[in-house]
Amino acid sequence: MLKEQIRRLAEELAPSLVADRRRLHRLPELSFREENTSSYLKARLDELGIPWQARAGTGILAEVRGRPGGGTIALRADMDALPIVEAGQPSYRSLNEGVMHACGHDAHMASLLGTAEILRRLSGAFCGTVRLIFQPAEELLPGGAAWMIREGVLEDPRPEAVIGQHVMPALECGYIAICPGRLMASMDELSVTIRGRGGHAAQPASNIDPVVIAAHVIVALQQVVSRQADPTVPSVLSFGRVIADGAINVIPDVVTMKGTFRTMEEGWRREAHVRMRRMAEGIAESMGGQCMFDIACGYPVLINEQRLTAAVTVSAREYLGADRVVEARPWMASEDFAWYGRSADACFYLLGTGHAGVVNPPSLHSPNFDIDEGALPVGAGLMAYIALERLGCVS
C-alpha cells in the first residue's frame, strides 16, 4: 500500500531530514535575505533531480511530476529566521549570531525536502504534479507569500489545493492539530503619534500634555475590542511600545506608540480601523492635541477551506491514526499563508514538535525554542500522503 511505502520512506529518510534541518538551523537568515538558505535548497533539489525555478528573490518553485495527466497540488514551506540570539547550546546552534530559526521554518524546509524526495521516489505511482513552494520572508511585512503569488506560483495551472504546516511546540510530536474555517488572525501594525506642547512639568496649564492624552487613548481604544467588537469574533489590541521622551520635570512635545491589532473577520477588521482612528483623533483633539493614526495592513485572516480541510483531516487520521489528529483552536498569531487561501483552496495545520512529557516548552519566537526532530519524518510523510490523496492516487 502506498501509505505504508510513504511511512517506510519517511523513516528511512529521517537521518537526512535531521541533517537538512540542522544545517539550515545553523545558518539562519533574516526575511528577504535568505540567500544561503536558497542556495542550499537549490543544491539539495539538484541532488534529488527535481527541477526548480527562482521566484520572488530568494524563493523557489519546484515541481515533482508523476505520470502524465492528473491535477496539481501545491505544498508550501517558509524560509526565514528571526532577529533573536539563540540561548540554547545544541550542537547545531546558530552560527549567524543574533539570528535564529526560532519559529521552526528550518523544520518546515527540511520536512518539505523530505516530502519532495518521497514523492520523487514514488513518481511512477501517481499521476499529476506536486508543486513545492519555498517561500521567503514570512516574518516581515509585506511578507513573501503575496510576492510568490504575484510571480505566478499559483498559475498554469492553478493548483487544486495549497497545503502548509507550522511546527507547534505545545503539541506532542506525532500529533497534528487542524480545524476548518478561521485558524489564524489578521494582523495590522499601528503607529500612533500624539502631539501636544511640551514644557515645564510644574506648569501643566501652559502646556498640552501628550502623555496624559496617550494614556487616555490607550485605555479608550481597548473599548473598541471590549465594547464595540462582536464578542463572538476574537479581537486583540496591544501596544508594546510607548515612547514619551520627556524627563521627571519635562513634559515632551510628542508621544509615539506602536501596537498590533488582530482579529478573525475581515469586515470587522476594516470597521475597527475606522473606529480606532476616529476615537484616538477625537480624544486628542478634545484635549487640545493632535493624533496621527497610521495603520499598516498586514496579513489577512487565515481561513481553512471547509471541504479541503475535511478531506485533509481524513487523510491525516488515516496516516497518523485517528487519535493523533486533534482539533486546532483559533490562534491570534498571523501567517502570510493566508494569502494562498485568497487565490486557491488552502489548508494549514499545526505539526506537533513537542517532546513527550515536557510541560510548558519554550514557545515559538523564544530564544530557547527547539523541536523534537522526530516530527520531521512525520511532517514529510504526512504531506506526501495528503498530496497523493488529493491527486486521487492512493489505492
Residues contributing to the site for Ni ion (CB under 5 A): 103
Q: Among residues 350 and 393, whose Cβ is nearest to Ni ion?
A: 350
Cα–Cα dist 246/209, whole Å: 11
Instruction: Count CB neighbours of 264 within 10 A.
Output: 23
Q: How far is the CB of 81 from Ni ion (least distance, A)?
A: 10
Q: What is the side-by-side order of every strand in the sheet holding 67-78?
A: 52-55, 59-65, 127-135, 67-78, 161-172, 346-354, 176-178, 325-327
Eight-state DSSP code of residue 215: H
Tell me the residue number closest to Ni ion, measured at CB: 103
Known catalytic residue: 63?
no
Q: How far is the CB of 58 from Ni ion (least distance, A)?
A: 16
Q: Which of 78, 138, 370, 389 is catalytic?
A: 138
Q: Among residues 103 and 163, whose Cβ is nearest to Ni ion?
A: 103
The residue length of the chain stands at 395
| Amino acid (1-letter code) at residue 57 | G
Q: Among residues 104 and 199, whose Cβ is nearest to Ni ion?
A: 104
Cα–Cα dist 93/84, whole Å: 12
Cα–Cα dist 120/380, whole Å: 13
Q: How far is the CB of 124 from Ni ion (least distance, A)?
A: 35
Known catalytic residue: 138?
yes
Q: Which of 34, 78, 80, 209 is catalytic?
A: 80
Instruction: Count CB neighbours of 97 within 10 A.
Output: 9
What is residue 64's three-state secondary structure?
A: strand
Q: Among residues 229 and 380, whose Cβ is nearest to Ni ion?
A: 380
Q: How far is the CB of 337 from Ni ion (least distance, A)?
A: 9
Q: How far is the CB of 169 from Ni ion (least distance, A)?
A: 12
Q: Among residues 2 and 333, whose Cβ is nearest to Ni ion?
A: 333
Q: Among residues 103 and 213, whose Cβ is nearest to Ni ion?
A: 103
Q: How far is the CB of 290 from Ni ion (least distance, A)?
A: 38
Q: Determine whether 89 is exposed, middle or buried from the number of CB atoms within 10 Å of its CB (0-12, 13-18, 19+).
A: exposed
Query: Which residues lie below 8 Å from residue 25, measured CB to CB, with a gap of 6+?
Result: 90, 92, 94, 101, 106
Question: Measured between alpha carbons, how far is residue 293 from residues 224, 235, 280 in Å?
Answer: 15, 19, 7
Closest of 210, 230, 333 to residue 275, by C-alpha: 230
Q: Which residues are catalytic?
A: 80, 138
